[in-house]
Structure 1
Amino acid sequence: MDPLQRPGPGRRGLLRTAVIGASAAAFGGSLWRGAAHAGPARPGPGPYGALGPADADGLSLPRGFTGRVVARSGQRVPNSSYTWHHAPDGGACFPDGGGWIYVSNSEIDPSGGAGAVRFDSSGTVTGAYRILSGTRQNCAGGATPWHTWLSCEEVGRGYVYETDPYGIRAAVRRDALGRFKHEAAAADPVRQAVYLTEDESNGCLYRFLPTTWGDLSAGRLQVLTAGSGTSGSFAWADVPDPDGSPTATRSQVAGAKRFSGGEGCHYADDTVWFTTKGDNRVWRLNLGPSTYELAYDDSLIDSGAPLTGVDNVTGSASGDLFVAEDGGSMDICVITPEGEVAPFLRLQGQSSSEITGPAFSPDGSRLYFSSQRGTSGSSSGGITYEVTGPFRH
């Protein structure tokens, strides 16, 4: 049995069993199911209304929401001996008894890695620690249903590392998930697959089918094949050599569909959403009928597109998508199942940064994210935030 997948003692083993049994609930809402798809999302007021003035930390939020800073790069996290890493990037939350843990990558080359912050049931920070070291430019990643974090290296022939958010077991390099410029990952417990984006201008979308679900040490890496349009049907084909040398993984299969700079990836309700930064698009894979389409495309909006610089993406229990901007207006925008897109929050005075790592606490009441370079524009100036408020469920 794989070392990261042995059932942990006590609470941890029970959490793992519970999340596998309730995987559909754990990975998103259902409002998109059966929704009428008249086309990509268009600007609208959104479910939360207009943004208010910026607070002392430069954070503009809708009425009823509040924010706070939970960590700053180069500074010790409260109630811990851990100095928060530079360039915080992709992140996810994991339950921890009555509290939770927020995991965050560090997009630094050569040191990279990932760290974690622990919260109690009231949201108080109770500790922080390192969970991955000695890796390169860890950008995004994804959570698994068995409560591990997949940390992805955004370098040529980069690796995926499976890490333990609870800080108990050592991270394991997952060679079977392929060597390419990894960005994000999203786990599908229904089809027992992990979807992977590739941050190349002519990159691909992949899926990994483990030989045994819950154990990523062996399996098949596949690439999505489809036509050149923005909608249609798709299929999967095996990648002959996941090691990617001498031929890159994206160049091994005829008919592999190209995407312009794959970024964030999110699975919920038989659907995969992923973003491409080169053309400011959010794509939707409908896994049941094996079709794909655009969920958002800023080029289809005549003027004043609310979402540009698309990057990391996550979803709420209501089925809303929250898409972070790399640049743009430094917003996190919400795309609703009703087909509206609107700013949810904005960071003022941080135009040389990007928003990274959006993730909800297990109960859906708190949203975590980072400004990778903060007000300084340097990787040493990263700021990690928490937003609390009446998120719809």
Structure 2
Amino acid sequence: MDARVNAHVERRTLLRAAVIGGSAAVFGGTLWRGAAHAAPAQPGTGPYGALAAPNANGIRLPAGFTSRVIARSGQTVTGTSYTWHNAPDGGACYADGTGWIYVSNSEINPSGGASAVRFSSTGTITSAYRILSGTRQNCAGGQTPWNTWLSCEEVSLGYVYETDPWGTSAAVQRPAMGRFKHEAAAVDPVRQVVYLTEDETNGRLYRFVPTTWGNLSSGTLQVLVAGTATSGSYTWTTIPDPDGSPTTTRTQVSGSKSFNGGEGCYYADDKVWFTTKGDNRVWQLNLLTNTYELAYDDSLVTSGTAPLTGVDNITGTSSGDLFVAEDGGNMEICVITPDDVIAPFLRIDGQSGSEITGPAFSPNGSRLYFSSQRGTSGSSSGGITYEVTGPFRS
């Protein structure tokens, strides 16, 4: 083991020990400012202003922001010999000394898996490599406080795989987290659980309670139980058979709440936000009060045209802003502010046969990574992964 790898292992061991010991002060590299999001967001003027004309990459951005192409499916990543995967999907960023790493899933079946791109402190690409192989239709996932990536299979009886963004340790299948059509995961270091979405028209919202925090090899899978309304209180009930066979996990618990096409999932500040594509909603769970409500619903927009349609992946920043990517719509990433204003942050022109996936911020919050899954071709082999740099508020 060389010095760089040894330092990486030591860093991960120290962080893991802190997390297992109950420290939850830092998650994702920033501290979260208390966010409101108390009512369904309405269109308004966003914090970054109007979108400019499309740049050379076909991306409309606010003033002060620039973009570059990081990788293209089927082509070698600049400065490396690694060929980027098809259909790039969910992603996350990890601090790597003075640089960082962006990981990205591949939503193809078979083969799937995930890859990573490593950056220096100046943003120069220094390497790219595979971190997960031999899986199926890896859609979204989630980042853990102990610096692993949870890659989720969006297939019937799919698994969660825990992977190493540095590519040093082999990926590990986590069957205790349930077998269903997994979409995204969000880790809550305060309650020491993992929230999981299910991409079915009658999907459920789950949480996994590990036997030992920081170790996902065993634990209890639970499902959210609530009424049929769009707001109210909820409880959690244990799933009797997490393997989902012969009875699917979503039909095992009477009274569990149905969600129409679970997609992205994000945790911060004692809240979980998740999206449902079937009804174009962003939901919010308040984990302190055990209540849920709508953070956005296009059918509840009271004036003008709903700016966000085809809700998909979701992430956030230390300022309390949520960034939601569109699957379809007009290929935008929209921002929802803590005062419940929603506005486009960027738009990709000329790629109507694609979807935006994998939004994730660099550890210092100055760069946003995401992909156009099918690019200009409309095919999984045409994926493009981008970086946007600019004055994101912190």
TM-score higher than 0.5: yes
> What is the letter of the counterpart of residue 25 of structure 1?
V
The alignment partner of 2:135 has SS state of: coil
Change (3 A) 1:363 1:85: same
- RMSD value, Cα: 1.3
Deviation at 1:36, TM superposition (A): 7.2
The alignment partner of 1:272 has SS state of: strand
The alignment partner of 2:296 has SS state of: strand
**What is aligned with 2:331?**
330
CA distance in 2, matches of 1:240, 1:296: 33
- Counterparts of 1:85-124 in structure 2 under 5 Å? 85-124=85-124
Deviation at 1:56, TM superposition (A): 1.1
> What is the letter of the counterpart of residue 142 of structure 1?
G
CA distance in 2, matches of 1:143, 1:368: 15
Change (3 A) 1:325 1:187: same
Q: Is the 8 A contact 1:187 1:267 kept in 2?
A: yes
Q: Is the 8 A contact 1:31 1:337 kept in 2?
A: no
Change (3 A) 1:36 1:85: closer
CA distance in 1, matches of 2:24, 2:81: 34
Deviation at 1:16, TM superposition (A): 5.0
TM-score relative to the length of structure 1: 0.95
**What is aligned with 1:4?**
none
**What is aligned with 1:238?**
238
> Larger deviation: 318-327 or 296-305?
296-305
Runs of 5+ in structure 1 lacking a partner? 1-7
- Counterparts of 1:116-155 in structure 2 under 5 Å? 116-155=116-155
> What is the letter of the counterpart of residue 17 of structure 1?
L
Deviation at 1:40, TM superposition (A): 0.5
- Counterparts of 1:305-316 in structure 2 under 5 Å? 305-316=306-317
CA distance in 2, matches of 1:18, 1:224: 30
Q: Is the 8 A contact 1:24 1:189 kept in 2?
A: no
**What is aligned with 1:375?**
376
TM-score relative to the length of structure 2: 0.95
Deviation at 1:79, TM superposition (A): 2.2
**What is aligned with 2:223?**
223
Deviation at 1:14, TM superposition (A): 2.2
**What is aligned with 1:161?**
161
**What is aligned with 1:13?**
10
CA distance in 1, matches of 2:99, 2:32: 25
Change (3 A) 1:23 1:361: farther
The alignment partner of 2:26 has SS state of: helix
Change (3 A) 1:179 1:319: same
Deviation at 1:29, TM superposition (A): 5.1
> What is the letter of the counterpart of residue 312 of structure 2?
D
> What is the letter of the counterpart of residue 80 of structure 1?
T
CA distance in 2, matches of 1:98, 1:149: 20
Deviation at 1:317, TM superposition (A): 1.2
Q: Deviations over 1:148-182 (max 9, x none)?
A: 00000000000000000001000000000000000
Matched, 1:351 2:323: no
User: Which 4+ residue blocks in structure 1 deviate beyond 3 angstroms?
Assistant: 18-25, 27-33
Deviation at 1:78, TM superposition (A): 1.7
**What is aligned with 2:188?**
188
Deviation at 1:91, TM superposition (A): 0.2
Q: Deviations over 1:123-142 (max 9, x none)?
A: 00001000000000000000
Change (3 A) 1:78 1:259: same
Q: Is the 8 A contact 2:37 2:337 kept in 1?
A: no
- Counterparts of 1:65-104 in structure 2 under 5 Å? 65-104=65-104
Deviation at 1:15, TM superposition (A): 4.6
> What is the letter of the counterpart of residue 246 of structure 1?
P
The alignment partner of 1:299 has SS state of: helix
Deviation at 1:12, TM superposition (A): 3.5
Matched, 1:294 2:294: yes
Q: Is the 8 A contact 1:367 1:388 kept in 2?
A: yes
The alignment partner of 1:17 has SS state of: helix
The alignment partner of 2:53 has SS state of: coil
Deviation at 1:189, TM superposition (A): 0.4
The alignment partner of 2:234 has SS state of: strand
Q: Is the 8 A contact 1:24 1:268 kept in 2?
A: no
> Larger deviation: 177-186 or 78-87?
78-87
> What is the letter of the counterpart of residue 249 of structure 1?
T
Change (3 A) 1:43 1:16: farther
> Larger deviation: 72-81 or 353-362?
72-81
> What is the letter of the counterpart of residue 314 of structure 1?
T
**What is aligned with 1:201?**
201
Q: Deviations over 1:305-327 (max 9, x none)?
A: 00000000000111100000000
Alignment size in residue pairs: 384
* Fraction of identical pairs, as percent: 71
Q: Is the 8 A contact 1:31 1:319 kept in 2?
A: yes
The alignment partner of 2:14 has SS state of: helix
Q: Is the 8 A contact 2:32 2:317 kept in 1?
A: no
Runs of 5+ in structure 2 lacking a partner? none
Q: Is the 8 A contact 1:65 1:389 kept in 2?
A: yes
CA distance in 2, matches of 1:101, 1:234: 37
CA distance in 2, matches of 1:36, 1:214: 30
**What is aligned with 1:5?**
none
